[in-house]
Amino acid sequence: MKVSLSLSFFLVCLLFSSGLTNALLMLGHDTTSASMAWTLWLIATYHKVQATLHEEIDHVLGEGKEVTSEMLSELKYLDIVLKESLRVYPSVPFVQRELTEDVVLDGVTIPAGTMVEVNINILHRNPKYWEDPEEFKPERWENETEEKDPYLYIPFSAGYEASPPPFPAASGCFMIFFFLSFFFLKFSPRNCIGQKFAQNEEKVIISKILQKFTMTAVDKHVPAIPELILRPEAVKIIFKRRN
The nearest distance, CB 181 to ligand HEM, in angstroms, is 11
Whether residue 79 contacts residue 211, with contact meaning beta carbons closer than 8 Å, is answered with: no
Q: Please report whether residue 116 would count as binding ligand HEM according to CB under 6 A.
A: no
Q: Please report whether residue 92 would count as binding ligand HEM according to CB under 6 A.
A: yes
DSSP string of 50-88? HHHHHHHHHHHHTT-S---HHHHHH-HHHHHHHHHHHHH
Read off the amino acid at residue 207.
S
Site map (CB under 6 A) of ligand HEM, residues 31-50, x = contact: xx--x---------------
Site map (CB under 6 A) of ligand HEM, residues 169-198, x = contact: ---------------------xxxxx--xx
- Of 5, 7, 13, 24, the residue at the interface with ligand HEM (CB under 6 A) is 24
Q: Please report whether residue 91 would count as binding ligand HEM according to CB under 6 A.
A: yes
Site map (CB under 6 A) of ligand HEM, residues 195-214, x = contact: --xx----------------
Q: Please report whether residue 83 would count as binding ligand HEM according to CB under 6 A.
A: no
Distance between CA atoms of residues 32 and 86, nearest Å: 10
Read off the amino acid at residue 58.
D
The nearest distance, CB 53 to ligand HEM, in angstroms, is 18
CA-nearest of 159, 76, 85 to 124 is 85
Distance between CA atoms of residues 220 and 236, nearest Å: 10
- Of 38, 136, 156, 177, the residue at the interface with ligand HEM (CB under 6 A) is 156
Q: Which residue number is nearest to ligand HEM in terms of Cβ?
A: 194
How many residues bind ligand HEM (CB under 6 A)? The answer is: 21
β-pairing, 94-98 vs 103-105, is unpaired
Residues in the chain: 243
Distance between CA atoms of residues 195 and 12, nearest Å: 28
Binding site for ligand HEM (CB under 6 A): 23-24, 27-28, 31-32, 35, 86, 91-92, 95, 155-157, 190-194, 197-198
